[in-house]
């Protein structure tokens, strides 16, 4: 009794119990794997039993999509290099780019009152606490506990989650906070006179040093002005398919990695 109370207290205040959590999670992983097995089997068998024609069709479709994306990428590459040149002219810092790794969500339920997921990559794959997660459409959340073989991630729609962001159209800065619903985000601290409209795209500003800059977060869905209040009440729909996508991307910021390795080397050289 007293032991568990003490455990709760230390877990809340300090980070000492991370080791205990890690080892318990290793004991738990087989169970999670077992629970995830039926959905994996279903996926696998649907792949095995899908007909030749279907596969051909899908292949064709994917090839077309690939061509389309390739074409768009060419344009983007030109814009990217132009952007880099302009930034050099301005002596502004230059975004290096990111490393990514595909992770799969385990079909495992957690506390129904928090928006969390378990993914199948952990600290053995260099995932770390606070690492941003994106899906094909935008930012989806961040890792809050990295275990050896799996990680827990908090989705951006959780009540306790916030991201520093800006509007794509005019660079207006705001903070995007979760509401606990999978299809709604709240925009905080936007003054009444600010220029914000329904349909504005919201991107990450990179100010919090956790999320890389310029990734899509959502689209403004409602703006209400109240004369008596200091701030606008604005909501947005997340771009990422929260609650629908099975695969997510772990993002490593190359610039940050370089800075980290430099710091560790400096620490080593100092003795």
Partner 1 sequence: MMTHCKNYWVVPVSLSIALVLTIMPLPPHLQPFRPDWLSLVVLYWGMAIPSRFGLGLACLFALLLDVSQGTLLGQHAFGLCLILYVVLRMHRQVRVSSFIQQALFIAVLLLLKQLLVLWVDGIVGRSVENLWLYFAPSLIGMLLWPFVFIILRDIRRSLHIR
42 is a contact residue toward partner 1 (CB under 8 A): no
Stretch that binds partner 1, among 60-68, 152-160, 168-176, 222-230 (CB under 8 A): 152-160
C-beta of residue 88 within 8 angstroms of C-beta of residue 94: yes
Quote the tokens at residue 53: 């024609």
| Structure tokens that stand for 34 in this block | 């077992």
CB of 115 to partner 1, least distance (A): 10
Letters for 63-102 (x = contact with partner 1 by CB under 8 A, - = none) are ----------------------------------------
Footprint of partner 1 on 177-206 (CB under 8 A): 180
Give the pairing type, strands 201-204 and 132-134: unpaired
Using CA atoms, how far apart are residues 204 and 253, in angstroms rounded to an integer? Answer: 14
The number of residues that bind partner 1 (CB under 8 A) is 37
Return the number of the residue (160 or 222) whose C-beta is nearest partner 1. 160
Residue 8 to residue 15: CA distance in whole angstroms: 11
The answer to whether residue 112 forms part of the interface with partner 1 (CB under 8 A) is yes
CB of 106 to partner 1, least distance (A): 9
The residue with tokens 């349909």 is 199
Nearest-approach distance from CB 109 to partner 1, in angstroms: 5
Alpha-carbon dihedral 170, 211, 207, 225, rounded to 10 degrees: 50
CB of 248 to partner 1, least distance (A): 17
Instruction: Write out the DSSP string of 7-22.
Output: HHHHHHH-STTHHHHH
Q: Which of 15, 74, 81, 160 binds partner 1 (CB under 8 A)?
A: 160
Residues 10-39 that bind partner 1 (CB under 8 A): 11-12, 17, 20-21, 24-25, 27-28, 31-32, 34-35, 39
Which part of the chain contacts partner 1 (CB under 8 A), choosing from 1-9, 78-86, 88-96, 260-268?
1-9
Closest to 132 in 3D by CA, of 151, 112, 110: 151
**CB closer to partner 1 out of 80 and 109:** 109
Q: Which is nearer to partner 1, 111 or 230 (CB)?
A: 111
Spell 201-232 as b/e; 16+ CB within 10 A means b.
Answer: ebbbbbeeeebbeebbbbbbbebeeeeeeeeb
By beta-carbon proximity to partner 1, the closer residue of 25 and 142 is 25
Scored b (16 or more CB within 10 A) or e, 71-101 reads eeeeeeeeeeeeeeeeeeeeeeeebeebeee
User: Rule CB under 8 A: is residue 241 a binding residue for partner 1?
Assistant: no
Instruction: Copy the structure tokens of residue 170.
Output: 């005019």
For residues 127 and 151, the answer to whether their CB atoms sit within 8 Å is: yes
Question: Which of 51, 113, 227, 269 contacts partner 1 by CB under 8 A?
Answer: 113
Interface positions with partner 1 (CB under 8 A):
1, 3-8, 11-12, 17, 20-21, 24-25, 27-28, 31-32, 34-35, 39, 107-114, 116, 144-145, 152, 159-160, 180, 243
């Amino acid at each position: 009794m007293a032991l568990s109370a003490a455990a709760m207290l230390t877990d809340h205040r300090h980070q000492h119990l991370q080791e205990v959590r890690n080892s318990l999670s290793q004991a738990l992983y087989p169970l999670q794997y077992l629970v995830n097995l039926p959905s994996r089997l279903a996926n696998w068998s649907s792949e095995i039993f899908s007909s030749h024609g279907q596969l051909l069709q899908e292949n064709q479709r994917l090839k077309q999509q690939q061509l389309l994306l390739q074409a768009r990428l060419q344009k983007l590459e030109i814009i990217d290099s132009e952007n880099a040149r302009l930034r050099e002219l301005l002596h502004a810092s230059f975004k290096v780019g990111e490393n990514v790794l595909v992770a799969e969500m385990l079909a495992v339920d957690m506390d129904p009152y928090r928006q969390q997921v378990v993914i199948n990559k952990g600290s053995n794959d260099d995932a770390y606490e606070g690492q941003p997660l994106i899906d094909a459409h935008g930012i989806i959340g961040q890792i809050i506990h990295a275990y050896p073989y799996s990680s827990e991630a908090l989705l951006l729609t959780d009540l306790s989650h916030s991201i520093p962001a800006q509007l794509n159209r005019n660079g207006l800065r705001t903070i995007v906070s979760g509401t606990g619903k999978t299809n709604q985000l709240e925009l905080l601290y936007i003054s009444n006179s600010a220029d914000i409209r329904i349909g504005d795209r919201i991107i990450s500003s990179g100010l919090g040093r956790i999320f890389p800059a310029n990734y899509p977060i959502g689209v403004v869905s409602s703006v209400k002005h109240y004369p008596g209040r200091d701030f606008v009440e604005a909501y947005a729909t997340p771009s990422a398919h929260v609650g629908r996508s099975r695969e997510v991307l772990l993002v490593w910021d190359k610039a940050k990695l370089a800075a980290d390795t430099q710091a560790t080397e400096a620490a080593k050289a100092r003795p």
